[in-house]
Amino acid sequence: MNEDNVKETATEEVKEEKVVEEVKEESKPSKKEIKNKLKEENQKLTLEVAELKNQLLRNRADLENFKKHMKEEAIKDRKYASMNLVDAIVTPVDYLLKACEYQSTSQEMNNFLIGFKMIANQIKEVLEGDGLTEISAEIGSEFDPNVHHAVETEKVEGSEPNKILQVLVKGYKYKDRILKPAMVKVSE
């Protein structure tokens, strides 16, 4: 290569470098633009942080509510845990007590009935100790559809309507829940 060619190539390279530097300087943002861009980015991040904090607080509140609900459910489950057992036992005990009302002429049979009645009463006392209560259904009292179940109605002269005429089957509550309503005959 000759000297002129080398000078020309060097001059072209210098010109190209100047053009590249000018383009770089032109595309270089000013301090004000950088500051505005950083401000915008800061605002976006601040909003995002606030949104995430809000979401965190909501999730924490939901979790607390869930814990509270589960605790209440657990208490309720423990409170009524033996309800099914009490329900299953109370009817046979009632039948046993009814059977014990049988009057026999035999002294030996009456002794057995007294023994069975004592056993049935002891079982009933255990159930009552656990929270079983008999629903009040006295003859002549007001019929309450919340605790009584009208199986029959009858028109009786001189009797007010919605009065209990006869208790067919005893009703029971377990703690504050109706286990089975009292089955009654009601006046019209």
For the stretch 40-82, pLDDT in tens is 999 999 999 999 999 999 999 999 999 999 999 999 999 999 9
Claim: this prediction has a pTM higher than 0.75 = no
For the domain bounded by 133-188, which CATH number is listed? 2.30.22.10
CB 167 within 8 A of CB 186: no
What's the CA gap between 132 and 169, in Å, rounded?
Answer: 16
CB 112 within 8 A of CB 96: no
Longest dimension (CA), the chain: 149
Structural domain boundaries of the chain? 29-79, 82-130, 133-188
CB 158 within 8 A of CB 168: no
Coil, helix or strand at residue 175 = coil
What's the CA gap between 88 and 94, in Å, rounded?
Answer: 11
Say if residue 11's pLDDT is above 70: no
